[in-house]
A and B are shown apart, each in its own frame.
Chain A
Amino acid sequence: MPLLAVDNVVFGKGPDGKSPILDGLTLAIEPGEVHALLGTNGTGKSTLAGLIMGCESYRPASGEIRFDSRIINGLAIHERARLGITMAWQEPVRFEGISVADYLSLRQTAFDPAACLELVGLTPFLYLSRMVDRSLSGGERKRIELASVLALRPRLAVLDEPDSGIDMLSIQDVINVISEFKKSGAAVLLITHREEIAKIADRASQICNGRIICSGTPEKVAEHYKARHCLACNGVECHYV
């Protein structure tokens, strides 16, 4: 029984105003599974993340999203979060007047904020009293978002390009975080463009033109991705050839 099942979901309208952004997308993630999602820009990856999290104006036109066998299409973000779903956005927002320590303790968890910071490669005593505001660099803010998601101990973490904005030398920190989710038994939907990140997943899928066009081992999907094959439309619709 999958932890998350996205079943034949249709959502939104693409740039042509006709074809949907997600066009009958189906994806399943098992409990404890790290599932990488690969796809070029504009293929619907972040849209799918927003739909799973239940962001405002992200409601499927048709199809179902189930979590733990329960249909969650109508649930608000915080209701989904309380079921165990959470998300780290590609570009996390800043908060004036909220310290890193407070941000990592928004909800009572057993996880120590300092330990979470260490796991994302940040020295706790340098960061706990800092504000989650514009004084942080993009990379620092991103790491703190990952730490906050870790602190929540979710059952499913949706990580939208956790490696973007992180310097190449620190990619191992991102890999460590994903491993930590795995150790804790959480499932991860890992949206990424980097093969070395995708490789740590248990399974992977490639999205193109709002549909999953290939699923399997990360190596197989990465090869498919790099070979620029589109099995769904042979490149006629998505020009992915």
Chain B
Amino acid sequence: MSELDELMLALGEAGGDKSVLADEGIAHLSVSGSSILSSRQVEGIDVRTKEFRNGISAKVVVREGVKLAKPVHLCFGVLHKKGTQKIEMDVRLEKNSSATIIAHCIFPKAEKVRHIMDAVVDVGEGAEMRYSETHYHGLSGGIEVVPKLVVHVGKGGRYYTDFTLINGRVGALAIDYDVHAGENAVVEMTARVFGHATDDIKIKEKVSLDGENARGLVKARVAIEDEATAEITGITEGNAAGCRGHVDCTEIVKDKAVAKAYPFVQVTHPLAKVTHEAAIGSVDKRQMETLMAHGLSPEEAVNVIVKGILK
């Protein structure tokens, strides 16, 4: 079996759609370790890639006014038990363009794997980017994932991102996102993670609402069990008139797991408004009682509630 076939098999098992590789209307990039196994460009998008010792770099430009009808698919993985993969991404959406990017990061056999993502994103004036990243890490927990992202969203631009890691072990995760929103820009960031055993989850998501009437939502949904730990920092700064921001963190804790949440809000303009809410604890008693009154056992009720918040 070729490495690409193996990667696609793992992608399918992780819930991804491997048929996108065959679709000539869909741009994609598949990377195993530091090898680019497959890629395709479509009209309106330029992708330049380079391999280096422990990873790859990719520069993606969606040209002015281009609205990609189909999502761009990215698949990054390390198929061996050990290894390091560094991804350097530079994504630019030019004025009034739009793109949806669906990324799968797959490490099914990871025992000692490092996955480092270093990304810079520029969403131009009136442009819209939707970025969805789903991870599958296997069951050993021997993985370290370090995604770092800096985003600038221009006037009237929109940037939506969600990060999902709810199947398999997390290992050690340290997300660091920093997003700057210009005038009338909209930013929404969501992270959903389910930690088990000794998983260690650190999520830091920051939105600076720098332009007038910018909007921001930072949302985290985390469930942890066994002896897992989670530390969630959601930061929103309101720095201009009419900005509205909200930080919303919910963590469900089971067994001996330990969760911390740091919703941090700062306002430097009298006409800006930023709010926050954080809830950490065991599963809500009234929710449990309601589901149990429907005949679900306590374990089934917890599963339904946890799956719901991670959905």
Q: Are A and B interaction partners? A: yes
- Interface residues, chain A, CB within 8 Å of chain B? 53, 55-56, 76-78, 81-82, 86-87, 89, 92-93, 95-98, 106-107, 148, 152
Q: Mind listing 8 A-B residue pairs with CB under 8 Å?
A: A78-B297, A78-B301, A81-B293, A96-B250, A97-B308, A97-B310, A106-B295, A107-B294
Measured in the bound complex, the distance between the Cα atoms of B292 and A97 in whole Å is 18
Measured in the bound complex, the distance between the Cα atoms of B221 and A92 in whole Å is 22
Residues of A within 8 A of B307 (CB): 97
Closest B residue, CB atoms, query A103: B294
Within 264-311 of B, Cβ neighbours of A (below 8 Å) are at 284-287, 289-298, 301, 304-305, 307-311
Convert B41-68 into 0s and 1s, putting 1 for each residue whose CB lies closer than 8 angstroms to a CB of A: 0000000000000000000000000000
Cβ distance A180 to chain B, nearest Cβ, rounded Å: 18
Of B285, B293, B310, B311, which is within 8 A of A87 by CB? B293
Closest A residue, CB atoms, query B308: A97
Residues of A within 8 A of B287 (CB): 93, 95
Question: Does the CB pair B293–A86 fall under 8 Å?
Answer: yes
Measured in the bound complex, the distance between the Cα atoms of B296 and A81 in whole Å is 8
Cβ distance B148 to chain A, nearest Cβ, rounded Å: 28
Tell me whether chain B's interface is mostly helix, strand or loop, or mixed: helix
Question: Does the CB pair B296–A95 fall under 8 Å?
Answer: no
Question: Does the CB pair A82–B295 fall under 8 Å?
Answer: yes
- Interface residues, chain B, CB within 8 Å of chain A? 221, 250, 284-287, 289-298, 301, 304-305, 307-311
Cβ distance A131 to chain B, nearest Cβ, rounded Å: 9
Question: Does the CB pair A86–B285 fall under 8 Å?
Answer: no
Question: Does the CB pair A78–B310 fall under 8 Å?
Answer: no
Measured in the bound complex, the distance between the Cα atoms of B294 and A98 in whole Å is 14
Q: Contacts A56-B285, A78-B298 known; A95 to B293 CB distance under 8 Å?
A: no
Cβ distance A217 to chain B, nearest Cβ, rounded Å: 30
Measured in the bound complex, the distance between the Cα atoms of B293 and A148 in whole Å is 11
Closest A residue, CB atoms, query B311: A97
A-B contact count (CB 8 A): 61
Measured in the bound complex, the distance between the Cα atoms of B295 and A148 in whole Å is 12
Question: Does the CB pair B304–A86 fall under 8 Å?
Answer: no
Closest A residue, CB atoms, query B290: A93
Measured in the bound complex, the distance between the Cα atoms of B291 and A97 in whole Å is 14
Question: Does the CB pair A81–B308 fall under 8 Å?
Answer: no
Measured in the bound complex, the distance between the Cα atoms of B292 and A107 in whole Å is 11
Question: Does the CB pair A106–B294 fall under 8 Å?
Answer: yes
Q: Contacts A81-B295, A106-B296, A107-B295 known; A55 to B289 CB distance under 8 Å?
A: yes
Question: Does the CB pair A53–B293 fall under 8 Å?
Answer: yes
Measured in the bound complex, the distance between the Cα atoms of B301 and A86 in whole Å is 15
Cβ distance A78 to chain B, nearest Cβ, rounded Å: 4
Question: Does the CB pair B290–A89 fall under 8 Å?
Answer: yes
Question: Does the CB pair A92–B290 fall under 8 Å?
Answer: yes
Cβ distance B151 to chain A, nearest Cβ, rounded Å: 26
Measured in the bound complex, the distance between the Cα atoms of B301 and A106 in whole Å is 10
Of A78, A95, A97, A98, which is within 8 A of B295 by CB? A78
Question: Does the CB pair A86–B310 fall under 8 Å?
Answer: no
Closest B residue, CB atoms, query A86: B293
Closest B residue, CB atoms, query A152: B294
Question: Does the CB pair A93–B294 fall under 8 Å?
Answer: no
Question: Does the CB pair B308–A98 fall under 8 Å?
Answer: yes
Measured in the bound complex, the distance between the Cα atoms of B290 and A148 in whole Å is 11
Residues of A within 8 A of B304 (CB): 95, 98, 106
Residues of A within 8 A of B290 (CB): 89, 92-93
Q: Which 7 pairs show the lowest CB-CB distances between chains A and B?
A: A97-B311, A97-B308, A77-B292, A81-B295, A78-B292, A93-B286, A98-B308
Question: Does the CB pair A77–B293 fall under 8 Å?
Answer: yes
Measured in the bound complex, the distance between the Cα atoms of B297 and A86 in whole Å is 14
Cβ distance B217 to chain A, nearest Cβ, rounded Å: 14
Question: Does the CB pair A56–B305 fall under 8 Å?
Answer: no
Q: Contacts A97-B310, A98-B304, A98-B308 known; A107 to B296 CB distance under 8 Å?
A: yes
Other than the given A76-B298, A81-B292, A82-B295, 14 more pairs (CB < 8 A) read: A53-B293, A78-B296, A81-B294, A81-B295, A89-B286, A92-B290, A93-B284, A93-B290, A95-B305, A96-B221, A97-B307, A97-B310, A106-B294, A107-B295
Measured in the bound complex, the distance between the Cα atoms of B219 and A96 in whole Å is 13
Cβ distance A182 to chain B, nearest Cβ, rounded Å: 20
Closest A residue, CB atoms, query B305: A95
Measured in the bound complex, the distance between the Cα atoms of B221 and A236 in whole Å is 53
Closest B residue, CB atoms, query A85: B293
Residues of A within 8 A of B310 (CB): 97
Measured in the bound complex, the distance between the Cα atoms of B290 and A107 in whole Å is 13
